[in-house]
Amino acid sequence: MPMAERHSQRGQATVELIGALPMLLLAGLALLQLMLAGYTATLADGAVEAGAIAAAGGEDVEAAVRASLPGWERSRVEVSQTGGRVDVTLRPPSPFGFLSGALAVSESAWVRMPGG
């Protein structure tokens, strides 16, 4: 095989690698987003449980929910309480900002209110 032909094949592999890097990066970011959404679902489950326990004890539900979350997630939570129902909605962090709202996770819990 002539020397010039070997160099052109080596150059082709480099070009293919450079062309594939953006797709590998995009796939990695998509995987990261899925992991963040899953972790957010776990956090929402624990937060709604903390809110329900607070409601059953006659305490401040929103404060209990926020206290159960890591600091970076506290600004991404919505809490509502209607009677014995506690609802928590969390938006996951996202490398694609527009997806955060679309991937929001909601959890609900029902509790018997004190004196009820």
pLDDT, tens only, 1-60: 555 555 566 678 788 888 899 999 999 999 999 999 999 999 999 999 999 999 999 999
Distance set, CA 103 to CA 68, 76, 92, 114 (Å): 21, 12, 7, 34
Residue 115 domain-assigned (yes or no): no
SS3 62: helix
Please give the pLDDT value at position 85.
96
Residue 67 domain-assigned (yes or no): yes
Question: Cα separation of 3 and 9, whole Å?
Answer: 10
Residue 92 domain-assigned (yes or no): yes
Residue pLDDT, tens place only, 66-87: 999 999 899 999 999 998 999 9
**Among residues 114, 68, 74, which one has the least CA distance to residue 93?**
74
Residue 116 domain-assigned (yes or no): no
Give, as one character, the DSSP assignment of residue 84. T
The boundaries of the domain holding residue 14 are: 3-110
Question: What's the total number of domains in the chain?
Answer: 1
pTM of the model: 0.78
Residue 25 domain-assigned (yes or no): yes
